[in-house]
Amino acid sequence: MSARLLTPALFLGVWSAFAAMLAVPTTLWAIRAHDAALATARDEVAHVAASSARFTESTFGVVDVVLRRLTEIAVEKDIDRITDDKICPSLVCSNNERGSPYLLLAFARPNGDVLVHSPKLQGLSVADRDYFHAQRERDAGLFVGAPRPTPFMQGLVLPMSRRLSSAGGEFRGIVAAGVSVDLLRTVFQGLGAGRSNTVSLLGADGRHLVDWTVSTLENDPGRTGRSGDPACALADHGSAADRITSRVSVGLGSLSVAVCRSTSGALERWREEVLRAGAGVALLLLVPVLAFPAARRRLRRYLRQQTALTDLVAGSSDVQFIIALKPNGQFVLEALTFSEDPEWGVPSARLIGRTTQELFPPEEAERVEADYRSVLASGKTRRIERETRLGDRRFVWSTVLVPLRDAGHEGYIYGAATDLSGDGTLGDGLRRFTEDALHREDNERRRIARELHDTTGQNLIAAGFELGVAERGLVDPPPKVRAALAQARALVDASVTELRTLSYVLYPALLDEAGLGTALQTLADGFSRRAGVQVTVSVADGLVGRRWAPEVELALYRVAQEALTNVQRHSTTKAARVVLQGVGMRFLELTVEDGAAPDGAPSASPIVEGTGIRGMRDRIAALGGTLSVSRQDGGIRVVAAVPERTLAEA
């Protein structure tokens, strides 16, 4: 991307689109959340009103039962000449000084005088009280009066009364009860706190008997709500749109419970969520605005550096490569190209995917990795001049290393190296370097194969012998035991056979002991048994019994091994040939081909050069040879030619 394309106009357009992508869903969410908050508030207000009405009805119902019972006791009694002990001998009626802190009971004569037990309270009269007047004028049933103070209880008392009448209906006084207003307010608070602003008990005429408001919670910061919210003021001022109300009737005394919650209070949490969401959106929109100038300057600087480095290395470097730092801390060669000689790129493919430890000797690998880590840690381009060994020669390299990610992160390094020695031996040195890498790989294969054969294989053979001793030593064993021992011996024998095959595939020890000709014959015999393809091996007369350099013999053996695998995979024939002969001046040629497909056989699959064929080609190219793979007469033909190197020349 060119720095000229990152203009303020382009940024503004992208930023505007991004802002719209954030604003539209955020606005829709806010609208839905607003409606949901109001619906939840309505449900909560209705629930508080219904619960408060049920509690009030239950409480007053119990009190009314007591008043009815006391009314029945007082029938035919002359209240003017008796004390309350004879009418109500209970603890509550007989001594109000020891009465309940939440409920009081008393009798009043027709003149309003209260029957009390204590001499200190003589002369108490309720003649001027609303609950007495209402019953004297007519039988008002259960009448609830206005709250008022009383010397028998702290706080206000909500009075209730029932009429006492003679058999002829003459007014003979009242029986009254007082319920603590604080009790009702406590229950209203428990039901309404956080879900309403006011909970009120209303009389038959609509007057407020008991009120609980959020303002009573000003000493309790853990509750929600706003003290004195005008939308739910007791005077019922404000628009109906500013509050949510619910009113439920109580089944006694023509009472009702009214609950109010301000719309503002119901939306308080919604406003907080909207503010948080808006702040998040604003932050998301502000970050790119603040970062744009610095990002633009950084991009311009980076592009200038890359352009300068490209101009620097494109026309003057001999080798270009990319190194990747893997999560396990290893540096791996990901790409390798050459500027001058295109033939160098052929053996170099064999080096792709190898770690620094596999490409260089240990002490040199440590220095190279230290340079790579320094470049990644600093995030800056470095130029390094160092003497490096390739094969058996040493070269002086000037290397430019460019980190492709920010400092401190795992990433990639682009490198361009130039040979400063200038003696024209770089090509041969690179070939020797590739040969050394392959040689180290073959040595590791040889070591693993030897360990499998000498240790694991011998242990399995010993285990099979011990199983045989156990099987022969058992006298008339149960059939299941004999079958299990026989199965175990069969598994051990099969494992020994598979281990020998795996060891031979990793590295054919016979190649070192008997030479290429014998090893090819053994390979052909084993392949014939496994694949059902008859393979014949032909070695030219002048080559029988001869030995060549180990790398030459191993490369031709691997070609024959992979070529026979391709015959099995891609051909329909049941016969193949392996031919080893000399060609020209000191060249060895190995040919592997199968016979023509029989009439009526299905057509062979096309040849696709995969990892196996590329591996063969790299091995042969590393020795300065050539490899060709082709189809001929419906079959496959693989020809490998390498310079002949004897053991003395190795």
| Residues present in the chain in total | 650
CA distance linking residue 333 with residue 513, whole number of Å = 35
Same domain, 326 and 462: no
Is residue 297, in this structure, part of any structural domain at all?
Answer: no
- 52: CATH: 3.30.450.20
Tell me the CA distances in angstroms from 617 to 563, 608, 611, 621, 622, one per residue in order.
Answer: 11, 14, 10, 6, 9
Residue 598 has pLDDT above 70, yes or no: no
Retrieve residue 339's tokens: 């500027």
- Residue 474 identity (one-letter amino acid): L
Of residues 13 and 646, the one with the higher pLDDT is: 13
Q: Given this model, what pLDDT does residue 91 score?
A: 41
Retrieve residue 419's tokens: 């040979």
Tell me the CA distances in angstroms from 485 to 475, 498, 530, 541, one per residue in order.
Answer: 13, 20, 27, 51
Question: Scanning the structure block, which residue is given the tokens 């430890």?
Answer: 357
Residue 229 has pLDDT above 60, yes or no: no
Among 373, 401, 419, give the residue marking a domain's end.
419
CA distance linking residue 55 with residue 85, whole number of Å = 31
Q: Which of 93-97, 285-289, 552-556 has the lowest mean pLDDT?
A: 93-97
Same domain, 434 and 569: no
Domain tally for the chain?
4
Same domain, 353 and 452: no
Give the pLDDT mean for 19-30: 90
The parent domain of residue 585 ranges over 515-650
**pLDDT confidence bin for 341, thresholds 50/70/90:** low
CA distance linking residue 121 with residue 114, whole number of Å = 9
Same domain, 396 and 336: yes
Q: Helix/strand/coil (H, E, C) string of 76-124? A: CCCCCCCCHHHHCCCHHHHCHHHCCCCEEEEEECCCCEEECCCHHHCCC
Question: Scanning the structure block, which residue is given the tokens 């995969």?
Answer: 610
Residue 648 has pLDDT above 90, yes or no: no
Q: Given this model, what pLDDT does residue 350 score?
A: 65
Smallest Cα–Cα separation from 361: which of 388, 384, 399, 335? 388
Residue 78 has pLDDT above 70, yes or no: no
Give the pLDDT mean for 95-117: 72
**pLDDT confidence bin for 579, thresholds 50/70/90:** very high
Residue 88 has pLDDT above 60, yes or no: no
Retrieve residue 189's tokens: 């608070």
Smallest Cα–Cα separation from 235: which of 256, 216, 260, 218? 260
- 549: CATH: 3.30.565.10
Is residue 223, in this structure, part of any structural domain at all?
Answer: yes
Same domain, 575 and 494: no
How many alpha carbons lie under 13 Å from residue 145 in its C-beta half-sphere?
Answer: 23
Residue 10 has pLDDT above 80, yes or no: yes
Is residue 298, in this structure, part of any structural domain at all?
Answer: no
Residue 69 has pLDDT above 50, yes or no: yes
Give the pLDDT mean for 407-435: 67
Give the pLDDT mean for 409-414: 75
Of residues 339 and 366, the one with the higher pLDDT is: 366
Of residues 58 and 513, the one with the higher pLDDT is: 58
Beta strand pairing call for 198-202 and 208-213: antiparallel
118 C-beta neighbours (distance < 10 Å), count: 12
Cβ within 8 Å of residue 405, ≥6 positions away: 376, 411, 412
Among 243, 266, 289, give the residue marking a domain's end.
266
Residue 32 has pLDDT above 90, yes or no: yes
Give the pLDDT mean for 396-412: 72
Q: Given this model, what pLDDT does residue 227 score?
A: 39
Tens of pLDDT, residue by residue over 531-546, are 888 889 998 888 888 8
Is residue 8, in this structure, part of any structural domain at all?
Answer: no
Please provide the average confidence, as pLDDT, over all residues in the chain.
77
Is residue 599, in this structure, part of any structural domain at all?
Answer: yes
CA distance linking residue 41 with residue 105, whole number of Å = 40
Q: Given this model, what pLDDT does residue 166 score?
A: 81
Retrieve residue 177's tokens: 């009860």
Give the pLDDT mean for 234-261: 77
Residue 624 has pLDDT above 60, yes or no: yes
Q: Given this model, what pLDDT does residue 221 score?
A: 40
Find the helix or strand (DSSP H, E) in which 150 lies: strand 148-150
Task: Give me the phi and psi of 591, to 5 degrees please.
Answer: -120, 130
Residue 24 has pLDDT above 70, yes or no: yes
Angle value at C-alpha 555, between 552 and 559, nearest 5 degrees: 140
Distance of CA 344 to the CA centre of its chain: 46
Burial 516-526 (b: 16+ CB within 10 A, else e): bbbbbbbbbee
**pLDDT confidence bin for 47, thresholds 50/70/90:** very high
**pLDDT confidence bin for 405, thresholds 50/70/90:** low
- Whether residue 126 contacts residue 135, with contact meaning beta carbons closer than 8 Å, is answered with no
Give the pLDDT mean for 359-384: 85
Same domain, 433 and 414: no
Give percent of the chain with pLDDT exceeding 70.
Answer: 73
Same domain, 469 and 543: no
Beta strand pairing call for 534-539 and 575-583: parallel
Give the pLDDT mean for 112-127: 73
Is residue 459, in this structure, part of any structural domain at all?
Answer: yes
Give the pLDDT mean for 511-515: 79
Same domain, 542 and 642: yes
Q: Given this model, what pLDDT does residue 311 score?
A: 53
Is residue 326, in this structure, part of any structural domain at all?
Answer: yes
Of residues 618 and 518, the one with the higher pLDDT is: 518
CA distance linking residue 372 with residue 152, whole number of Å = 92
Query: From its phi and psi, is residue 242 left (phi > 0), alpha (psi between -120 and 50) or beta?
Result: alpha
For the chain, the 3-state helix, strand and coil shares in percent, each to the nearest 5, are: 50, 25, 25
Same domain, 484 and 598: no
Query: Three-state SS for 619?
Result: helix
- Whether residue 106 contacts residue 115, with contact meaning beta carbons closer than 8 Å, is answered with yes
Same domain, 213 and 100: yes
Angle value at C-alpha 377, between 316 and 383, nearest 5 degrees: 20
Of residues 424 and 479, the one with the higher pLDDT is: 479
Is residue 219, in this structure, part of any structural domain at all?
Answer: yes
Same domain, 71 and 141: yes
Same domain, 121 and 89: yes
Among 247, 266, 285, give the residue marking a domain's end.
266
Tell me the CA distances in angstroms from 391 to 94, 284, 321, 438, one per residue in order.
Answer: 119, 56, 18, 11
**pLDDT confidence bin for 636, thresholds 50/70/90:** confident
Tens of pLDDT, residue by residue over 427-457, are 666 666 666 666 677 777 767 767 776 677 6
In angstroms, what is the C-alpha Rg of the chain? 52
Give the pLDDT mean for 467-489: 80
